[in-house]
Amino acid sequence: MSDPLVTFRNVQKRFGDFVAVRDMTLDIQPGEFLAIMGSSGCGKTTTLRMLAGLEQPTRGEIRIAGRLMNDVKPHDRDTPLVWQSLALFPFLTARENVEFGLKMRGVDKAERKRRALEWLDRMHIGEFADRSVDTLSGGQKQRVALARSLVMEPQMLLLDEPLSALDANLVIRMQGVLTQLQKELGITFVYVTHSQSEAFAMADRVVIMSQGDIAQIGTPKDIYRAPANRFVAEFVGRNNILTGTVKEASSETTRLATPAGTFMVETPETEPQTGTKRSFVVSADLVSLSLEEPTAANRVHAKVISEEFIGSVVTLFLESGDGQEFKVQMQERQLMNYDLHAGSQVWLSWETENAHMLDGD
C-alpha cells in the first residue's frame, strides 16, 4: 500500500468541556472513497472541519501528504469542502461561484472562465452559467457546489452531508454522479453522512463514529456482516443481537447459552473464555423462516408481532417464548407463501457461519 494521503495521530478536539473527538488515529489512502458515518454529535463533522482547517485539534497530529497541518490556515490548504447547506454565494452567478476559488489563487480572467465553464458543462449545467444561483433547483445548486470545489483540482474533496437536502430520487442520482466523478478523477473523497445507505452505496471504506471515538473501520460489507461491537451492530440496524454465556469454545465454533436457547457461533480470532458473557449478531436477512421445525442446529420458536413493509422488502418483528426479539428480512413475494398474521407461530433458523461474535458483551 502506498503512503497514506491523510494521517490522524491521537487527535483530540475539545470545545470547552465537550470532547468532540477523543483520540482518533486514522489513515486515509490516496484515491479512496471514505465515508465517516455516525449520529449527530458523534464527531464526524468536527473531523471533517479539522481536515479543512476550520477547527484546530486540541492535541495530536494531522498530516496531509506528510505535511503537518495543525496550524495551517483554511485558506492555505487544498481541501475544498462541499457544504451541507451548499454555501453558494447568492450575490454571484453560477459561473462566478465556480470561479471564486480560482480568482483567490490569482488565475487570470480568461483561464478562470474557461475552466469554470468546462466544469459546469461537465456537470451538465453549462446552460445555467450566467444565472443567479438562487434561481437554480436543488440538484442544479448541488452540481454548482461540486463544480466550485472540483475546479480547484484538489487531491482530496471533503463532503459534509451534501445530499441531505435533496429528495430521495435525486439522492440516488447524485450518488451515481459522485461515485463516477471519484473514479474518473482518482482523487480522495471524504464523505460525512448520517445515512447508512449513502455511505454503503458509495464508499470503499466506512468509518463509524460514536461519541468522539471510532467504533469500526471497514468495507461496507465488513461492517454490515461483521460488526465489531454492539454499538455498530445496533447502528447498522436490522441485526439480531443475542447475549449469553460461553459454554464451550473450540477454534471453529463456540457454544453460547442464551435465554432463548443454546446456539453455535463462529469463534472469533481470540477464543472466548468459558463462562464469560458474550454477544453475537445474525443479520435479519440471513435468518430463515419456516412453519415446520427445521433441522438446523440454530433454531428457535417465535411468535409474529408485527411487520414493516418497505417496497419489495419486508421486515418481520418476532418474539421467542422468553421475550427475546427477532427481526427477519425477506422479499415480499416470499412472505406471501406463508399467510402470516400477528400471533402466528413460526420457526427461525440460521447457519452457524452467519452468527458473528461481537467484541465485549
Partner 1 sequence: MTKRLDLYALTWRLPIILWQLVFFVGPVLFMVAISFFVVRNYRMQPAFDFVNWEKMLGRGYVWDSYWYTLFIASLSAAIAMLIAFPAAYALAFRASENLRRWAIFLLIIPFFTSYLVRTFSWYVILAETGVLNALLGYVGLGPYTMLNTHFGTVVGYLTLTLPLAVILQTVTMANIDRTLIEAARNLGCKPLATIWRVVIPLSKTGLIIAALFCFILSFGDFIAPFYLGGSQEPTLPILILDTTKSGQQWPRAAVVAIMMMLTLFAIAFTAIALAYRKPKGAR
Cell numbers for 246: 460461553
Q: How far is the CB of 148 from partner 1 (least distance, A)?
A: 7
Kindly state the cell numbers that stand for 307. Answer: 411487520
Q: 129 — alpha (psi -120 to 50), left (phi > 0) or beta? A: alpha
- Written as one letter, the residue type at 26 is L
| Count of residues that bind partner 1 according to CB under 8 A | 30
74 binds partner 1 (CB under 8 A): yes
* Closest CB 257 distance from partner 1, rounded Å: 54
Site membership for partner 1, residue 75 (CB under 8 A): yes
Q: Is the distance from CB of 239 to CB of 282 less than 8 angstroms?
A: yes
The pair phi, psi for residue 44, each rounded to 5°, is: -70, -40
| CA distances to 251, 265, 300, 314, 329 from 355, in Å | 15, 5, 14, 21, 16
CB-neighbour burial class of residue 352 (10 A; exposed 0-12, middle 13-18, buried 19+): middle
**Nine-digit cell at 286?**
440471513
Q: Is 54 in the site for partner 1 (CB under 8 A)?
A: yes
User: Is 247 a residue that touches partner 1 (CB under 8 A)?
Assistant: no
C-beta of residue 331 within 8 angstroms of C-beta of residue 313: yes
- Contact at 8 Å (CB) between 190 and 157? yes
Binds partner 1 by CB under 8 A, chosen from 93, 140, 229, 258: 93
**Is residue 89 a contact point for partner 1 (CB under 8 A)?**
yes
Q: Tell me the three cell numbers of residue 151.
A: 475546479
Contact between 52 and partner 1 by CB under 8 A: the answer reads yes
> Binding segment for partner 1 among 4-12, 22-30, 99-107, 236-244 (CB under 8 A)?
99-107
Choose which of 7, 45, 46, 79 interacts with partner 1 (CB under 8 A). Answer: 79
For partner 1, the binding residue among 4, 38, 43, 80 (CB under 8 A) is 80
Q: Indicate whether 104 belongs to the interface with partner 1 (CB under 8 A).
A: yes
Does 123 bind partner 1 (CB under 8 A)? Our answer is no
CB closer to partner 1, 94 vs 289? 94
Which of 33, 100, 224, 280 forms a contact with partner 1 (CB under 8 A)?
100
Q: Does 134 bind partner 1 (CB under 8 A)?
A: yes
What is the spatial distance between Cα 352 and Cα 263, in angstroms, rounded to a whole number?
8
Instruction: Give whichever of 86 and 335 is closer to partner 1, judged by the CB atom.
Output: 86
Question: Which of 12, 29, 132, 352 is in the footprint of partner 1 by CB under 8 A?
Answer: 132
Work out whether 210 is an interface residue with partner 1 (CB under 8 A).
Answer: no
Distance CA 72, CA 347 (A): 60
Q: Which residue has the cell 417465535?
A: 302
Q: What residues numbered 6-45 form the site for partner 1, per CB under 8 A?
A: none
- Which one-letter amino acid corresponds to residue 73? K
> What's the closest the beta carbon of residue 306 comes to partner 1, in angstroms?
42
Produce one character per residue of 115-135: b if its CB has 16 or more CB atoms within 10 Å, e if not.
bbbebbebbebbebbeeebee
Instruction: Specify the length of the chain in residues.
Output: 361
| Interface pick for partner 1 out of 91, 111, 138, 173 (rule CB under 8 A) | 91
Choose one: 89-97, 251-259, 287-295, 302-310; the region binding partner 1 (CB under 8 A). 89-97
List 6, 34, 81, 287, residue binding partner 1 (CB under 8 A): 81
The C-alpha cell that represents 276 in the structure block: 464469560
Q: Binding residues for partner 1, per CB under 8 A?
A: 52, 54, 73-76, 79-81, 83, 85, 87, 89-94, 96, 100-101, 104-105, 130-132, 134-135, 148, 152
